[in-house]
Chain A
Amino acid sequence: MKIAVLRRLAVAAGIAALLSSTVVAEEPVRGGTLITTLPQTPRHLNPAVQSGIVTGAPGAQLFAAPLRYDEDWTPQPYLAESWAWSDDGLSMTLNLVQGATFHDGEPITSEDVAFSVETIKANHPFKTMFGVVEAVETPDDHTAVLKLSQPHPALLLAMSSQLMPIIPKHIYGDGQDPKSHPRNGQDVVGSGPFKFVEFTADQQVILERNDDFFIEGRPYLDRIVYRIIKDASARAIGMENGELHMTTFENTVRNIKRMSENDDLVATDEGYAAIGPINWLAFNTGSDGPLADKRVRQAIAYAIDKNFILNAIMLGLSQESKTGIHPGSPLYYPDVNGYDLDIDKANALLDEAGYEKGADGIRFSLTIDHGNPTTKPQAEFTKASLAKVGIDVTVNSFVDFPTWANKISNHDFDMTWDTVFNWGDPVIGVHRTYDSQNIKEGVIWSNTQQYANERIDELMAAAGQEIDPDKRAALYKEFQEILADDLPVYWTNTLPYHTIYNKKVGNPPLGIWSSSSPYDLVFLKE
């Protein structure tokens, strides 16, 4: 654990790290309206039935979760004042704080916890989170016991605001479909530090302080206004001219760099470890073509100069990610082959695989499909890089997501640049990419690479149930070593997500869940 923290500190901008520690020491002030941003309009505000960061950010203010996390991945009490595993790892007991109420004054009880878990299990897209929860027992109003069919260490991370909001049974348990419940987007009744005021699509979400919040004296802010601004440059101008106090999930590197040079602003990449966004070049290993050969995939990795991506495209603002687990995670294992640029080796591997250069200098042709505009530089860079080893690449850009997703998820592609999130524990966001049981036509971000390796399947099954952190880390070490050699996916870097905040903002959300964590500690200095 410590190593991961140290590394993260070293990689993160040193100044930002220093600043965040001094900020904590400052005396919080009550009052004020925090103006922050959302990069797109959320479908609605209920994270129990909707994943994603734009629902997660206001969702974490509206709804409290059993646990919250600091920047060291350490769980802290939140709605649960204490929690405990049973010795066999088959049950988790949560003791809820006394006297907590929903925004409409109804008490928050263990019934609501049980209802929330059931709702999430039935409706949330991440089935692995609560799939093994067989029942939630409620011996009294303040005790909830989650019964599991097998040990499930990922549960701890799943109990944070992004993934396990506690929603009121008396509102959402009225028999309507929770996925399209009218109270998901309007008149939301939550359990968190801020209450719903207004949600206008393409304009703003406005929240105000919950005076009856279960933590005495908090939150500090009177109001939070999330302005929905899709254009990254517009957000940057807004930060620079003082219209906005804070913006999260920024990934336009030039703008980040620019804002970081502004004396009033602080830019930091802290806070995105649990979200765990990774850029990668995915290979269709199940195709009949050259990509079925591991050596070809390795050769492609050797031919692409990762340093160009890290330093020229990302301007040094993102971290290298050698595996599918985010480098901010304690389970990341960095001592695997990173495929540094080696054109000779790439050529040798391609020759060895039987793909000699033709008379025109070309070995074979491939396509790159990309549906996410942010990976366009990588796609074009790959085209130029692979030309040097005799692979002719055509870039197909898809302007709308469905067309791209349809192609990829039906395995009708050679290569694609993509961005995929870890979502906390590997069980939630990592396994899906490599699990041979998860090769499912028509489902995007399943194992669309059609990669199958028995040992990998075994390792994932074992690690998913391993309670002992050290043993678990060892399983994931082997997992990452095998994958780095098989290379169904060539991982290059983390997304350069940054939080930029005005120095007026105290206690910005720099824990592992970034803006999807409660803002009860955030304040505005006067």
Chain B
Amino acid sequence: MGFLVVLAQRTLYGLLLLLAVLVLNFTMINLAPGDVVDTIAADMGGASAELVAQIRAEYGLDQPVIVQLGNYVWRVFQFDLGQSYFYNRPVTEMIFERLPATLLLVFSAQIFALVVGILLGVFAAQRPNGILSHIVTLFALFGYAAPVFWTGILLLIAFSLKIPLFPVAGMRDVTVEGFFPQALSVAHHLVLPMLTLGSIFIALYSRLCRASMLEVLGSDYVRTAKAKGLSPRDVTMKHALKNALPPVVTLAGLQFSAVISGAVLVETVFSWPGLGQLALTSILARDTPTILGILFFSALVVIVGNLLTDLMLRLIDPRVRGKA
């Protein structure tokens, strides 16, 4: 019961945040000079004055900003994010087309970074001052310190061009038929983008995991467990890791905004057909409804990601479960 109330509160609050995101950005976009009609004209290789005026009127761009904002917010309350000016299609439809690609990339990169980060962290915590431990820490830092698009380009050159193991762009091979071959094809396309995006966060997770492992390993009950004669392996896996995980998961939950940012760059490098690419196109084209829709949905992903993290913490951490 208590949990449901919390969930309801957080949902309502999340919706308010989303609305604020829309209003702020709508106002901001409309303050800037130029509008989408210029892009449409450009895309057509030039247009006449009549056509330009006609398109502006069709989209209501000739009305005062405050009226446009009112109309927009009213439509959002009716669950309608509007039509893309540029593609003439419902924004939600266009976003749902791409959302799966972004979610796939974001979540697989997160899982990859968590798994590798935790493994490295656990490993480094075994002998905190050993040379190997330092090497692991430094290695993990590489991914963090290198610009993510740069890592991507280097991987692309290495494993698409020099050693053509992975495809260079896109998400699937359209000539492949059947569900499993296609899934395999998507997985094949996913490898490099996932590695690239995941690499940023390995350092973060492995370092925190190491620190929190060290903390737990030094605590009384682990000492007790050791004294009871449990094998070091059991101590590490059963007791220490279980208690060292919650902070790492919490941190991962806080990274969703950063992961989406990284995804924008990675999608650009690998032509991954997700929200990031659409975002760049529509920002440059000043396609207001689409930009707002994307901000809306990325904020939603962040909020849902945070909620999911809470849920996960409840599952793995008995201390949180107690407090509603």
Contact = CB atoms under 8 A, between A and B. Distances in A.
A–B proximity contact (CB within 8 A): yes
Interface of A: 33, 35, 40-41, 43-44, 50-52, 125-127, 177, 179-180, 184-185, 200-204, 206, 225, 227-231, 233-235, 237-238, 240-241, 243, 399-407, 409, 420-421, 423, 429, 432, 440, 442-446
A432 B46 contact: yes
B171 interface: yes
A228 B281 CA distance: 13
Q: Interface residues of B: mostly helix, strand, loop or mixed?
A: helix
A172 B47 CA distance: 22
B48 A231 contact: no
Given A231-B268, A234-B156, A240-B161, A400 B52 contact: no
Contact of B168 (A35, A225, A237): A237
B65 interface: no
A7 B49 CA distance: 38
A305 B58 CA distance: 46
B281 A405 contact: no
B268 A51 contact: no
A443 B47 contact: yes
Nearest to B87: A43
B169 A231 contact: yes
Given A201-B97, A237-B156, A405 B38 contact: yes
Nearest to B161: A237
A40 B171 contact: no
Q: Which 5 pairs, one residue from A and one from B, show the smallest C-beta to C-beta distance? A: A402-B34, A406-B34, A445-B46, A405-B38, A125-B47
Interface in B23-64: 32-36, 38-52, 55, 58
A442 B285 contact: no
Interface in B119-176: 153, 156-157, 160-161, 164, 167-171, 174-175
Contacts of A404: 34
Nearest to A412: B33
Nearest to A410: B33
A237 B157 CA distance: 8
B41 A405 contact: yes
A443 B169 contact: no
B52 A40 contact: no
A125 B86 contact: no
Nearest to A239: B168
15 contacts: A40-B281, A43-B87, A51-B44, A125-B46, A202-B98, A227-B169, A229-B169, A237-B157, A399-B284, A402-B38, A403-B32, A429-B45, A442-B49, A444-B42, A445-B42
Nearest to B47: A125
Given A237-B160, A444-B41, A402 B36 contact: yes
B38 A406 contact: yes
A241 B164 CA distance: 7
Given A43-B88, A227-B170, A127 B52 contact: no
B175 A33 contact: yes
Contacts of B46: 51, 125-126, 420, 429, 432, 443-446
Given A125-B44, A400-B286, A444-B38, 19 more contacts: A41-B87, A41-B281, A43-B40, A43-B87, A126-B46, A204-B170, A228-B273, A231-B271, A233-B153, A237-B157, A240-B161, A401-B39, A401-B286, A402-B286, A403-B32, A409-B38, A443-B47, A443-B48, A446-B49
Q: Tell me which of B39, B48, B50, B55 has the highest count of chain A C-beta atoms within 10 A of its own C-beta.
A: B48
A125 B168 contact: no
Q: How large is the interface on B (under 10, 10 to 19, 20 to 34, 35 or more residues)?
A: 35 or more
A405 B45 CA distance: 12
Contacts of A185: 87-89
Q: Tell me which of B38, B160, B268 has the highest count of chain A C-beta atoms within 10 A of its own C-beta.
A: B38
B156 to A, nearest CB: 7
A225 B172 CA distance: 12
Contacts of A401: 34, 38-39, 42, 284-286
B176 to A, nearest CB: 11
B278 interface: yes
Nearest to A184: B88
A203 B153 CA distance: 20
Interface of B: 32-36, 38-52, 55, 58, 86-89, 94, 97-98, 153, 156-157, 160-161, 164, 167-171, 174-175, 268-271, 273, 277-278, 281, 283-286
A399 B283 CA distance: 10
Contacts of A399: 284
A238 B160 CA distance: 8
A409 B37 CA distance: 12
Contacts of A235: 169
Contact of B45 (A40, A200, A445): A445
Nearest to A421: B45
A476 B84 CA distance: 42
Given A201-B94, A201-B278, A400-B284, A125 B171 contact: no
B33 A406 contact: yes
Q: Tell me which of B45, B86, B164 has the highest count of chain A C-beta atoms within 10 A of its own C-beta.
A: B45
Nearest to A398: B34
Contacts of A400: 34, 283-286
Contacts of A409: 38
Given A200-B97, A405-B38, A241 B45 contact: no
B8 to A, nearest CB: 36
A239 to B, nearest CB: 9
A388 to B, nearest CB: 33
Given A44-B88, A203-B170, A241-B164, A125 B51 contact: yes
B42 to A, nearest CB: 5
B91 to A, nearest CB: 12
B48 A127 contact: yes
Given A225-B175, A401-B42, A445-B46, A230 B277 contact: yes
Contact of A405 (B34, B88, B164, B171): B34
Contact of A442 (B52, B161, B170): B52
A516 to B, nearest CB: 12
Contacts of B286: 400-402
B35 A204 contact: no
B271 A52 contact: no
Given A51-B45, A125-B41, A125-B48, A234 B88 contact: no
B72 to A, nearest CB: 19
A442 B51 CA distance: 12
Given A50-B44, A201-B94, A423-B45, A243 B167 contact: yes
B41 A443 contact: yes
Contacts of A237: 156-157, 160-161, 168
Nearest to A40: B281
Contact of B271 (A51, A230, A407): A230
A31 B280 CA distance: 37
Nearest to A197: B174
Contacts of B34: 400-406
